[in-house]
Amino acid sequence: MQCSYFDAGLCHSCTLMGVPYAEQLATKEATARTLLAAHDSAVWLPAVASAESGFRAKAKMVVGGSSAAPTLGILDGQGRGVDLRRCGIVAPGIRAAFDALAEAITASGLEPYDVPARRGELKNVIVTESADGELMVRFVVRSRASVAAVASIVSALQEALPQVAVVTANLLPEHKAVVEGAEEVVLTSRSTLPMRVGDVTLQVRPQSFVQTNTAIAGALYRQGRAWIDAVAPSTVWDLYCGVGGFALHAAAPGRRVLGIEVSPDAVESARTAAGALGMPDVAFEVGDATTAVRVAGAAPELLVVNPPRRGLGADLADWIERSRIPTVVYSSCNAASLARDLEGMPSYRVTQARLFDMFPQSTHSEVMVLLERAPAA
């Protein structure tokens, strides 16, 4: 894939841009194998490749320029807006909406936030697209006074873009390097975006995390389900469950599944999806994973973990080691922290491993391993 923005030096976010995709994929798998080299019992399944372009179903665009001529993209070293509306890794349906979104910003009268001067109101626009082409659009603004301005453009925006199903204003008053704030104001009758991922439909609320590469996320969940079904456990826990991707795929007659996630928004999304899918034996609870396992009673027959980049941490890895759970499915977005966690779980051996290229054009990827507890000596 070639990118005119990258070639012109305007954006270097995609650090592997221009590197042949086959080479990217081979290097990522070689890196993961090296990091997990101590686990020579692993059978590596073929890496799951992504589309090279148009794979991002979620775009986080910094708003720059002026209300009359807004830019959607990133900021340069001086804090000026760099317009990236034709970014090739963004899904075509989102790219096609950017011009109408820029027109809506102009109609709102909201001035983009000037980072060096610390003035202005509109900071970011976050757009998520479902597999069915519907959009969720979130305007990240500085103050509550700006919510009315966003609300004033909703009808015209939906007229210009009928595929826009959810519009919100997110409040981020602080001057800090984060994309969104804690408070969300929903401005449409709908507050969730149904997203078909793999073999289930997730119900995504505005602040719920969802994988940006829908096709690869689906492959990841299906592989997890295949490993789970091969074991046929009667009880499964899914830690760091997010909106329920692994938990909902793990559902089966006679199997009780519990998902645990620290985000109330994500748990509400997961519960809504389970209800819509008619899965009464799949439950979700709000809680910190490390704290929750200590008070949850008897351990499950199979555990799924999908932690953030920092990994499980020593405390949770130690709990898993002492729990004697027979089988663990560990999905990791950072093979280095995965390797570190496995050092704290010496009773488990990696039987299968697979790389999923969730983030083409970058050095990041997802690695999932199947862990089986070694028989007691």
> How far apart (Å, rounded) are the C-alpha atoms in residues 340 and 322?
17
Q: Is 87 annotated as catalytic?
A: no
Q: Are residues 165 and 218 in the same domain?
A: no
Residue pLDDT, tens place only, 4-42: 999 999 999 999 999 999 999 999 999 999 999 999 999
Q: Is the domain of 160 the same as that of 174?
A: yes
Active-site pick, 11, 14, 241, 333: 333
**pLDDT exceeds 60 at position 95:** yes
Task: Give me the chain's average pLDDT, please.
Answer: 96
In the predicted model, what is the mean pLDDT of residues 347-371? 97
Convert the pLDDT of each residue in 81-94 to its tens digit: 999 999 999 999 99
- How far apart (Å, rounded) are the C-alpha atoms in residues 291 and 260? 10
Read off the pLDDT of residues 265-319 as tens digits, 9 standing for 90 and up.
999 999 999 999 999 999 999 999 999 998 877 899 999 999 999 999 999 999 9
Identify the pLDDT of residue 3: 96
Assess whether 115 and 217 both reside in one domain: no
Residues 352 and 293 in one domain: yes
Q: With bands split at pLDDT 50, 70 and 90, how would you rate the model's confidence at 58?
A: very high
Q: Which pLDDT score, from 0 to 100, does residue 351 have?
A: 97
* Whether the predicted pLDDT of 348 surpasses 70: yes
Average pLDDT over residues 186-213: 96
Q: With CA atoms as reference, report the closest residue to 128 among 211, 48, 26.
A: 211
Residues 13 and 89 in one domain: no
Instruction: Provide the β-strand partners of residue 260.
Output: 239, 285
**Token digits of residue 111:** 């001035």
97: containing domain: 58-190
pLDDT > 70? residue 377: no
Clarify whether residues 42 and 107 are in a common domain. Answer: no
Same domain, residue pair 339 and 203: yes
Whether residue 17 is found in the same domain as residue 38:
yes
Least confident of 27-31, 104-108, 205-209, 292-296: 292-296
Q: Same structural domain for residues 121 and 260?
A: no
- Is residue 210 domain-shared with residue 288, that is, in the same domain? yes
Count of domains for the chain:
2
pLDDT score recorded for residue 376: 66
Specify whether 91 is located in the same domain as 176.
yes
Among 128, 158, 190, the domain boundary falls at 190
Mean pLDDT score, 63-76: 97
